[in-house]
Amino acid sequence: MKKSVTGLSKVQRDRAPRVRSQMPVVLNGKKGLTQDISATGVYFELDDDQELGSAIEFTIELDTPGGKLEIRCTGEVVRLTNKDGKLGIAAKIIKQDIRSN
């Protein structure tokens, strides 16, 4: 990956700041936990098979002072990792909709 004069790659410069956070996530009826999230992407781990570049629909559950919220997302799988039998999925968020429970 080519670095700029700042020492950061284009991907690092263009990526939104990430926040480490463990929130429940549901994909294909399987539950997992987010590891980090940003305005444009999310990384989570769960027991499921996915393919790089595939479109996915998932829900992130938020517990707020005003009550529980669901963020329903459409995304694209941009990276996959395997760690201790869990699949790590990095997804670019293409569309999101926030709903109260």
Domain count for the chain:
1
The answer for 66, left when phi > 0, alpha when psi is -120 to 50, beta otherwise, is alpha
- Tell whether 82 is covered by a domain: yes
Per-residue pLDDT of the chain (101 residues; tens, 9 = 90+): 444 444 444 444 456 788 899 999 999 999 999 999 998 999 999 988 899 999 999 999 999 999 999 999 999 999 999 988 889 999 999 999 999 87
Domain coverage including residue 40: 16-100
Position 2 scores a pLDDT of 45
- Tell whether 11 is covered by a domain: no
Position 10 scores a pLDDT of 47
Q: Which residues is 84 bridged to in the sheet?
A: none
Residue for token pair 């539950």:
31
What CATH number is associated with residue 64? 2.40.10.220
> C-alpha angle with apex 45: 71 to 7, nearest 5 degrees?
90
- Tell whether 9 is covered by a domain: no
CA-wise closest residue to 34 among 59, 15, 54: 59
| Residue 39 CB neighbour total at 10 angstroms | 10
- Tell whether 4 is covered by a domain: no
pTM of the predicted structure, to 2 decimals: 0.79
- Tell whether 6 is covered by a domain: no
